[in-house]
Copies of this chain bind each other. A is one copy, B any other.
Amino acid sequence: MPRAGLDPAAVTAAAAGLADEIGLANVTMGLVAERLGVRTPSLYKHVASQADLNRRIAALALVEVGDALRDALQGKSGRDALAAAAHTLRTYVVQHPGRYSATLPLNPQGPDDPIAIGGARVLDSLAAVLAGYDIDKADTVHAMRLLRSLFHGFATIEAAGGFEMDTDVDKSFEWLIDFVDRGLKTEA
């Protein structure tokens, strides 16, 4: 019996892929093992539990989103940066709904938790977007929360199929970006 050569990252990647395909809630240890050509208990040599695995998926998603944002925001500012961040986030959630949904119960266990680090990097990117607007220092936190809530909410509802189809969702998204852009510009 040859070895499969697994490690935590491989298990996490397999589970993340599965989550995108069938939904995070339907990801079972047995299915992950099957995808890796391994028996279920073998997974426990690499991850501590299913909860641990979910947290690793969340950390992976946050890193990927953070990277994507960093790339997309290169050399952009103002409305361009806002639009780039918005599209990047939406695209990621649409393409990786399972991974992304793992990030919802955000409970970093400490400052060195990968989830906390990844989350902070995403927030840094949002802060970079806001830097392109003249926003009062005291209001930046509020504006950050605005962006987070709006993008997260939109993406979540869209991924859940919550928008009726008769009106174009893409158009709404553009309208929404414009709404925020204008609002942030007139923010003292």
Interface residues of A (CB under 8 A from B): 104-107, 139, 141-142, 145-146, 148-154, 156-157, 160-163, 167, 169, 171-172, 175-176, 179-180, 182-183, 186-187
Q: Across the interface, which residues of B come within 8 angstroms of A150, CB to CB?
A: 146, 149-150, 153
Q: How far is the CA of A161 from the CA of B171 in the complex (A)?
A: 31
Output the least CB separation between A176 and chain B (Å): 6
Q: Are B176 and A183 in contact (CB under 8 A)?
A: no
> Is chain A's binding surface mostly helix, strand, loop or mixed?
helix
Q: How far is the CA of A104 from the CA of B104 in the complex (A)?
A: 12
Query: Smallest CB-CB separation from A166: which chain B residue?
Result: B141
Q: List 19 A-B contacts (CB under 8 A).
A: A106-B160, A107-B161, A142-B176, A145-B154, A145-B163, A145-B172, A148-B157, A149-B149, A149-B150, A149-B153, A149-B157, A149-B176, A150-B150, A150-B153, A152-B157, A153-B154, A179-B183, A182-B183, A183-B183
Q: Across the interface, which residues of B come within 8 angstroms of A107, CB to CB?
A: 160-161
Q: Across the interface, which residues of B come within 8 angstroms of A183, CB to CB?
A: 179-180, 182-183
Q: How far is the CA of A153 from the CA of B90 in the complex (A)?
A: 14
Query: Smallest CB-CB separation from A167: which chain B residue?
Result: B141
Answer whether A142 and B105 are a contact pair too, CB < 8 Å, given A152-B157, A182-B186, A186-B182: no
Q: Across the interface, which residues of B come within 8 angstroms of A142, CB to CB?
A: 167, 171-172, 175-176, 179
Q: Across the interface, which residues of B come within 8 angstroms of A154, CB to CB?
A: 145, 149, 153
Q: Across the interface, which residues of B come within 8 angstroms of A139, CB to CB?
A: 175
Interface core residue of A153, A154, A176, A182 (most chain B CB under 10 Å): A153
Output the least CB separation between A36 and chain B (Å): 25
Q: Across the interface, which residues of B come within 8 angstroms of A180, CB to CB?
A: 183
